[in-house]
Amino acid sequence: MPDENEKRKKHDIAEDIMKRLSSEIEKRGIDADTILVGSLARGTALKNSDVDIFIRFSRNYERAKMERVGIELGFSIFPDATPKYAEHPYVSSVVKGTKVDIVPCYRIDFNTPKISSVDRTPLHTQYMKEKLTDKSIGEVILLKLFLRRQGIYGSELKTEGFSGYVCELLILHFGTFNNFMEHMSGLSGRLIIQDQVKEFHSPVVIVDPVDLSRNAGAAVSNDSLSILKTASKFFCLNPSEDYFYYDENENIEPVNHERGTYFLALVIERPDIIDDILFPQVHLMRRKLDEFAKIQSLPILNIFDHVEEKTVTILMEFASPALPSVEKKVGPPAGNMNVVSFIEKHIKSPDFVRGPFVENGRVIIEVRRKITQFRDIFMSNLENINFGKNLSRLKSGTSIIDNQEEIKKSYAYREFLSVKSPYLAAGKDLKK
């Protein structure tokens, strides 16, 4: 967690920017105010966290004007800032090594209709500042550290994990980090907190006290929930400080066992879009490639996606590099009238090898496959595989790499070997 010097530095940065924004707002006669939001405002920030400042506009402004004026105010403070876009535009910059976001939104009250989802954020801050105590703030930080070690902290679509706000709601509900771990270690189904005002079907359901129609835990995937269930079991059996240690610069060499398998890497240019649009399409691309492999009876063992600054890689691991040269064509049941046409069609084919014969009541004919190498199978079928809207536009530039030495030198392969989620610090002790 950040030390007092880091906290003071970030608060000083926030106060200075808000003062300058307020002066600009007053000078322009704009009906708006500023507020510090997020974990820094609530005292639950981790080390190297961002500074989030919202400009709350009167609802009398049309949305287009609110967004335009909000961006203008941001650039009046940071002329060289980077414009970004989530649900609507905002301005991002770096001040003394700290990332600062200036986000326009509407000023709303509790449980009143929102215009955009970010309108709730100041209310989340207000609610938590009233509810959190010094003790519960410490418990929230423990939970955040634990989830970050598991790789499931953050509600971004890249992570599909637990947001900081969700961590705070969980501690308010369970009281302490240990109480929550005990609950999770015995949980067999979905995680549901508070009575539901409406039906939610997500793996995690946490009704947002600021907006009772919203599930605050909607971003959490079933995989992230499953990782938490597993890690909590091991933690409760053997608590360890290792579960809270995280070093983003940690560089542990992965163990490269000879796997005796075959890898294919599909590499495509990374489109210039925000992560929340990119990663769902990367995950879709991975799922569609996996589905295609299974439909084609390719013996796929693992499939893994890896995103770098300029490329997206899908790494696939197979039991072998090719299919047998002979394929069984399974025909209709022997009693079906289509048996005759099925047999005649395949016997007359230049690819015919053997048959007909019967297995489990169906007519079978063996034919020779035209394409057997997995690389060639994927290359000849790329046009028929959905990569998602933005990735599909770049599909023609896809490289399919099957050189095993080249693949094993790639960052994607290194990340594949390094995958460790859940992180189980107690694993070696449980083997005793």
Segment 380-384 mean pLDDT: 91
Q: How far apart are CA 340 and CA 19, in angstroms?
A: 85
Report residue 432's pLDDT band, with 50, 70 and 90 as the boundaries: very low
CA angle 102, 108, 109 (to 5 degrees): 130
Predicted confidence band at 81 (pLDDT cuts at 50, 70, 90)?
confident
Cβ 327 vs Cβ 351: under 8 Å? no
Give the pLDDT confidence score for residue 318 in this predicted structure.
97
Domains of the chain: 4-130 (3.30.460.10), 132-244 (1.10.1410.30), 262-322+372-418 (3.30.70.590), 326-368 (no CATH)
pLDDT band at 427 (very low <50, low <70, confident <90, very high): very low
Residue 294 makes CB contacts below 8 A (sequence gap 6+) with 300
Mean pLDDT calculated for residue range 189-200: 81
Band of residue 424 on the pLDDT scale cut at 50, 70, 90: confident
pLDDT of residue 180: 98
Residue 88 contacts residue 135 (beta carbons within 8 Å): no
Do residues 55 and 73 touch, judged by C-beta distance below 8 A?
A: yes
Mean pLDDT over 169-182 rounds to 97
Q: How many CA atoms lie within 13 A of 257 on its CB side?
A: 5
**The tokens 């509790």 sit on which residue?**
110
SS3 letters for the chain?
CCCHHHHHHHHHHHHHHHHHHHHHHHHHCCCEEEEEEHHHHHCCCCCCCCEEEEEEECCCCCHHHHHHHHHHHHHHHCCCCEEEECCCEEEEEEECCEEEEEEEEECCCCCCCCCCHHHHHHHHHHHHHHHCCHHHHHHHHHHHHHHHHHCCECCCCCCCCECHHHHHHHHHHHCCHHHHHHHHHCCCCCEEECCCCCCCCCCEEEEECCEEEEECCCCCCHHHHHHHHHHHHHHHHCCCHHHHCCCCCCCCCCCCCCCCCEEEEEEEECCCCCHHHHHHHHHHHHHHHHHHHHHCCCCEEEEEEEECCCEEEEEEEECCCECCCEEEEEEEECCCCCHHHHHHHHHCCCCEEEEEEEECCEEEEEEECCCCEHHHHHHHHHHHCCCCHHHHCCHHHCEEECCHHHHHCCHHHHHHHHCCCCCCCCHHHHCC
32: closest CA among 14, 65, 56?
56
284: number of Cβ within 10 Å: 16
**Amino acid letter at 391?**
L
How far, in Å, CA of 325 to CA of 369, rounded?
A: 5
428 — pLDDT class (breaks 50, 70, 90): very low
pLDDT of residue 197: 58
Residue 268 pLDDT level (bands cut at 50, 70, 90): very high
* pLDDT bucket at 2, cuts 50 / 70 / 90: low
Contact 167, 144 (CB under 8 A): yes
Q: Is the pLDDT of residue 430 over 60?
A: no
210-253 confidence digits (pLDDT tens): 988 889 999 999 999 999 999 999 999 999 999 998 776 666 66
Report the DSSP pairing between strands 51-57 and 98-106.
parallel
Distance, CA of 259 to CA of 317 (rounded, Å): 10
Distances (CA, A) of 153 to 142, 143, 180: 12, 9, 15
Report phi then psi at 57, rounded to 5. Answer: -95, 155
Mean pLDDT for the chain overall: 91
Q: What is the mean pLDDT of residues 131-160?
A: 94
C-alpha closest to that of 14 among 128, 102, 73, 141: 102
Give Cβ neighbours of residue 79 (< 8 Å, ≥ 6 apart).
Answer: none
